[in-house]
Structure 1
Amino acid sequence: MELLIYALASLALRAYAEPVSPAEVKLYFEENLSQGSEAYLPEDSGYAEKIIPRWNSLGPPKYVVAVKPATAVDVLQVIEYASNQSIPFLGTGGGHGYTITTSGVANAVDIDLGLFTSVTVDALKNTLTIGGAVTFGEILDPLYEAGKEIRS
């Protein structure tokens, strides 16, 4: 019973805790993600060059921090941290596409998958595995070299 009361009190305190600042979020990612990962605040120098923005016809999402994880484990860690801190997040890749809903994303973490650019074709299994930032044009040569094609 005491454990249940402690757990409920912890949840209540967490619900009323001060939100984490963007600088604290960035610092957490810098200290806890693997080497090669990157974290940026929108006001950081070079942010616009290092992070591929996600856009839409009504306006861009609003991020407090952008993170470029280097590994799949890093991606999971970013999602877990953002979820635990009640921070919305959105995974982005090539920055292109059409939707009218991303303008509703505010005070979020941008999980920029820009470091995930691998393309692997297994001709025997007829499978194509691509990273989260691969664009359509980047799969054509590897498919051709493996003697494969896709329908348009």
Structure 2
Amino acid sequence: LLLFLLSILTPSSATMFAATGRRKKEKHKRYIMWLSDVHADPYYGTDMQSCSLEYLNETRQNQVGMIGCDPPYTLLEATVHAAAKVAAELGATQCIFSGDYVRHEQQHLIDPESQVPEIINNVTGILSQTFSKLNLGILGNDDSPQDYYLNVTTQK
């Protein structure tokens, strides 16, 4: 999960961090929380997980995720909760999410056609429970039942 805190600068803005390295809210800046690349895996810790089965014992022991594997919802929940604290501290006025809700190798889900939208809905629910001002969500390349493929059936 990538997490960014964007600042919109005004001509009189100073730096975001003071010399001490502590966060500093500045009156001439506006902040936007930007989250990206969740890649939530509802099968994390099972033999259906997206990462190699050689890591199955480790993923079962690491309930909030591990490097090299698409994470479970628990890691997203913890990350979003921590991000919300920072956003509130700095007065972030908006939150955007720029895609890749769904795990890698989504074609190996039991039923990609129904599970991909379900995962997108679950991730959106977690984000919107914490960030009431989730202003924008964008689909990524892993957010279709087949990687990089959307079947457009209408021009409307």
Decide: shared fold, TM above 0.5.
Answer: no
Higher helix share: 1
- Larger relative contact order (CA 8 Å, sep ≥ 6): 2
| TM-score normalized by the length of structure 1 | 0.28
User: Bigger radius of gyration, 1 or 2?
Assistant: 1
| TM-score normalized by the length of structure 2 | 0.28
